[in-house]
Amino acid sequence: MKRNILEADETAVNEKYHTGKLLGRLIAVSDLSDEQTASLLSCDSTLHTSSCECVRRCCDRIIQARNNHEKVFVGGDYDADGISATAIMKRTLDVLGIQNGYYIPDRFKEGYGLSPATVSMVKEKGYSLIITVDNGVKAHEALAKARELGLEVIVTDHHRIEEDIDADIVVHPDYMEPEYEYLCGAGVALEISRNLIGNRDELTAIAAVASIGDVMPLWKETRRIVLAGMEILRRRIPRSLDAMLRPGTPVSWTSIAFQIVPKLNSVGRMNDISNVNTLVPYLLSTDERVISTYAAQLDHVNEVRKELSEAQTKTAEKMVDDSDILLLYNESFHEGICGLIAGRIANSLQKPVLVFAKSGSLIKGSGRSVSGFDMFSFFSDFDEPCAFGGHEQAVGISVNAEDFERFCAHVKTKFAAENYTYEEPSLTAVSVKADEITMDEIMALSRAEPVPKELISNFALTDPVVLSVKETPKVTRYTLACASGPLEAVLFKRKGIVPPEEPSCMIGKLTLNRWRSNVTMTLEIEDIF
């Protein structure tokens, strides 16, 4: 890995924005516009409400459905964003008094998005209007089926539009004001909801979690949604989300990303022991008994997912060879965690990786790429897959079992022929001395939360003075000398880095670790040498 350690003069930034030394230093070396810097530091959580034509038409049609006593169906998706969007739309229809139903498809048996079979079921059950959330722009067969059956469809989505969408109304950030360009699926649903029923704290918090879970750019209205949602969550609203945080954990974008989002996603991944459709009433519940019981079940599902992921990643790692693109298939792999395995190995080896599992007569895989290799474009013209989708850095592929060997050979032949190379991964950090690190300076870093990817956020501590080292099965903990008190540097062993006894440099993020009444300064190590 290439290390890029920068020296920075924070004086000008600090004088203009009163950031303090450390945050000013990060801003000074990051490629932010003046507008972005002002937005980053403003802490503005005042939500706006879109008044664009597509949102207005959508809302008018929903009100018409209420006035005509129509039944409205919500078609969702099985990830954190899609589940959240489904919950937001359902609560909105409930408040309006509209008879409604919803369905999130089985990730493995039915696949992504609205299907013709679901459309037929909707017609049979007497619905007259379908609203998709976090999907629909690619549901061309389902939309054609709806038109054939005389059903109206409102597509609400945020994924890339590649073809004309044969729906009655399409609500999408591309058709909204520039402030809304970074909305996730739940963010789009929230804008519709705010127009129809006004501000609802619990729905804002749900949209904030979805925005973090879908790794949206943290600017404009999306940033305000996340800031507002975190403020609401700190008031323990809604209790369903609050119950997913470990007791005593402060609400931050990182605690949401690493504690709430994985639990929401795990239900869709582990559908053999859970049902993703049960998450919607849980998110909307106010019953403490229901919330407590279901939150415990979520913990269990997520723990099973983590254990399986750890075990099967080890199996996959044993299959790795010296190929420049890795195709790893084992019948024992769980379809729901193939993407997680591929991501870990791709990050570790800096190679594109596809991991496949058996699914009936199909072999289904998930791929994860590396910087400089557009995986979606690479696979777009293959004939063998019977299903394919994704984007530049991640794809999903299904191949008939009898075509799998030919597919693998085709991949390797094409990859070799096109002579792909990818960028060497790099880690950029800003130089800092131990005597510059204080509790106040680390606290000032929180002004940048939620941290956008455009902000360099790693520090490089050179010539650290190590007072002690403690090994545990999962981490190596260094206690470092610091002018304002001890600094704990934590290296997680899953990173695969051999910890030196006398390091010359530690690179990572500076945080405050709160546990009960204790607050400690912590460096979460990304690299050490």
Q: Are residues 363 and 467 in the same domain?
A: no
The neighbouring-strand residues paired with 293 are none
- Backbone angles phi and psi of 271, in degrees to 5: -75, -5
Name the residue range of residue 116's domain: 53-284
Question: What is the number of structural domains in the chain?
Answer: 3
Which of the listed residues 364, 386, 417 is the one where a domain comes to its end? 417
Q: Are residues 236 and 104 in the same domain?
A: yes
Q: Are residues 180 and 219 in the same domain?
A: yes
Q: What is the pLDDT of residues 289-314, one digit of tens each?
A: 999 999 999 999 999 999 999 999 99
> Which CATH number fits the domain that encloses residue 357?
3.10.310.30
pLDDT at position 371? 85
Task: Compute, in degrees rounded to 10, the torsion defined by CA atoms 74, 46, 283, 94.
Answer: -50
Q: Are residues 106 and 190 in the same domain?
A: yes
Residue 49 has pLDDT above 90, yes or no: yes
CA distances 429 to 46, 458, 526, Å, are 32, 5, 10
For the CA atoms of the chain, what is the radius of gyration?
Answer: 24
Q: Which helix (H) or strand (E) holds 85?
A: helix 80-96
pLDDT at position 170? 98
Q: Are residues 385 and 490 in the same domain?
A: no
pLDDT category of residue 395 using cuts at 50, 70 and 90 = very high
Whether the CA torsion 183, 184, 185, 186 is positive or negative: it is negative
Distance CA 263, CA 267 (A): 7
Average pLDDT, the chain: 95
Q: What is the pLDDT of residues 188-236, one digit of tens each?
A: 999 999 999 999 999 999 999 999 999 999 999 999 999 999 999 999 9
Q: What is the pLDDT of residues 446-498, one digit of tens each?
A: 999 999 999 999 999 998 999 999 999 999 999 999 988 899 999 998 888 88
> Which CATH number fits the domain that encloses residue 203?
3.90.1640.30
Instruction: Please compute the mean of the pLDDT values over residues 407-435 and round it to a whole number.
Output: 90
Q: Are residues 237 and 345 in the same domain?
A: no
CA distances 413 to 32, 323, 324, 382, 407, Å, are 42, 11, 11, 12, 10
pLDDT category of residue 513 using cuts at 50, 70 and 90 = confident
Q: Are residues 253 and 228 in the same domain?
A: yes
Which of the listed residues 362, 389, 417 is the one where a domain comes to its end? 417
Which of the listed residues 368, 388, 417 is the one where a domain comes to its end? 417
Q: pTM (2 decimals)?
A: 0.93
Distance CA 292, CA 279 (A): 13
Beta strands (DSSP E) in 401-504 are 426-432, 459-462, 466-471, 475-480, 487-492
Q: Is 505 strand, coil or helix?
A: strand
Residue 293 belongs to a domain: no
Specify the range with the lowest mean pLDDT, choosing from 14-18, 68-72, 262-266, 513-517: 513-517
Residue 457 belongs to a domain: yes
